Amino acid sequence: MSPTVGIYTLGCKVNQYESEAIAECFTAKGFYVQSPDLPCDIYIINTCTVTAESDRKARQFIRRARKTNPLAFVLVTGCFSQTQPESVASIEGVDYICGNADKLSVVKAALYLLQNGKKNTTPTIAVSPPDSKGFEPMRITRFDRTRAYVKIEDGCESHCTYCIIPSARGKIRSKAPCEVLSEVTALTENGCREIVLTGIETASFGKDLENYTLADLLCEIDRIPNIGRIRLGSLDPSLMKQEFVDRIAGLHSLAPHFHLSMQSGSDKILALMKRKYNTRQALDGIERLRRAIPNVQFTTDMIVGFPQESEEDFAASLDFAKKAGFLMIHVFPYSKRAGTPAAVMSGQIPEPIKHERVKILSQAAEEIRRDILNGLSGRVFDVLTETYENGIARGHTDSFVEVAFPTAHFEHAATVPIRIKGNDGTLCFGELISQPKGES
């Protein structure tokens, strides 16, 4: 009987991709990958450390694995184990700890533990600098129903004052373009209709390469036969310069949806965060894309309650959000991260004020989204089908608007033309106006 492995994944899309690559390596070695909520022989906890809450969840999942099967081998990887290996080692039941430099080493370590047949009394710590081995070779062939994440970049050198991730991920490293093209081609040939190119700082892809940029990569991907949709992971708004926009505007595969890691709409707060742009530059980039790409939509992340954020600064963020017209805003209260400059800044904002600002900006975001969705009524969009339940199919337009529509003949991962009839403020409702185009 095959040994079983369960993988808990916390955090970003890069971690999701890396967990899938780990799972495929286990499968190749004869393991059966199953839900980590079931008793398993091996547990992998792929951790995040972006906030103190992320660390707490990592500890929680480690303890949950041990409780589910006290005899199982527990291996911990990711950003939390990279930055705090001794803290991980202090948790009872952990057998092996590695960081971000060699995540696939958990497979070899698991095989050794199984062959040895007994748990480590003292955890093995195999943590080296996160960028010590360059870009770790990883590749996936499977994908979750409709879309796949492909990691094209690792590391960050921005050193924003609220963020611990540069110390967890190291310097910028780009995946070799030929390897990205090969992986995307294989996923496309296997039937994947939407691929999300992601990284710790996706916009930095190519900065460590000679005369090769993210725009070059997107143009090459666009020429892959039968390529479906290509989305980009979270982007720094400073990327949206005229040259970049001109290069990508005519690509047929690139989805007209950009998630901008904005963080604030106040120039004072952006400067305190040490972001690489101001609100004028961000709005100019958004307008360039709107002029160049029909039906483009934008989503973003915004932090409220950052140290020294005044009522005027918060009002500036509200005003910016309305001017930008974001389809969706993920709003977060600022959370102190030990080891970052922002954690010891003067002017820390009381928690009740943070949460009130979250509420106000979230309500504004809902109003902006409803206005955008109202403007779609009567128009026809291609929707990539994803799920089906009780006669109702759901999927997303290329601009990332979610649409539900009734159909008696559901075909998964088909592109179908839908006329938008209305919305509930979050989800659009539509009607199928013809049969699928045959993509599946």
Encode the chain (440 residues) as per-residue pLDDT tens digits: 899 999 999 999 999 999 999 999 999 999 999 999 999 999 999 999 999 899 999 999 999 999 999 999 999 999 999 999 999 999 999 999 999 999 999 999 999 999 999 999 999 999 999 999 999 999 999 887 789 999 999 999 999 999 999 999 999 999 999 999 999 999 999 999 999 999 999 999 999 999 999 999 999 999 999 999 999 999 999 999 999 999 999 999 999 999 999 999 999 999 999 999 999 999 999 999 999 999 999 999 999 999 999 999 999 999 999 999 999 999 999 999 999 999 999 999 999 999 999 999 999 999 999 999 999 999 999 999 999 999 999 999 999 999 999 999 999 999 999 999 999 999 999 999 975 444 44
CATH topology of domain 147-370: pyruvate-formate lyase- activating enzyme (3.80.30)
pLDDT of amino acid 1: 85
For residue 151, give both structure tokens.
């990691």
pLDDT of amino acid 439: 44
Helix axes 351-374, 311-324, angle to 10 degrees: 20
Q: In what order do the strands lie in the sheet with 32-34?
A: 32-34, 4-9, 42-47, 73-78, 94-98, 124-126
Q: Cβ distance 76 to 96 under 8 Å?
A: yes
The CATH code belonging to domain 4-126 is 3.40.50.12160
pLDDT of amino acid 165: 95
pLDDT of amino acid 435: 55
Residue type for position 349: I
Paired sense of beta strands 428-432 and 402-406, if any: parallel
What's the whole-model pTM score? 0.93
pLDDT of amino acid 142: 85
* Alpha-carbon 110 to chain mean position: 27
d(C-alpha 58, C-alpha 360), whole Å: 31
CA-angle at 75, arms to 69 and 77, nearest 5°? 140
Q: Which residues contact 248 (CB under 8 A, 6 or more apart)?
A: 215, 218, 219, 254, 293
pLDDT of amino acid 440: 40
Paired sense of beta strands 402-406 and 392-397, if any: antiparallel
Query: Where exactly are the structural domains of the chain?
Result: 4-126, 147-370, 380-432
CATH topology of domain 380-432: OB fold (Dihydrolipoamide Acetyltransferase, E2P) (2.40.50)
pLDDT of amino acid 146: 85
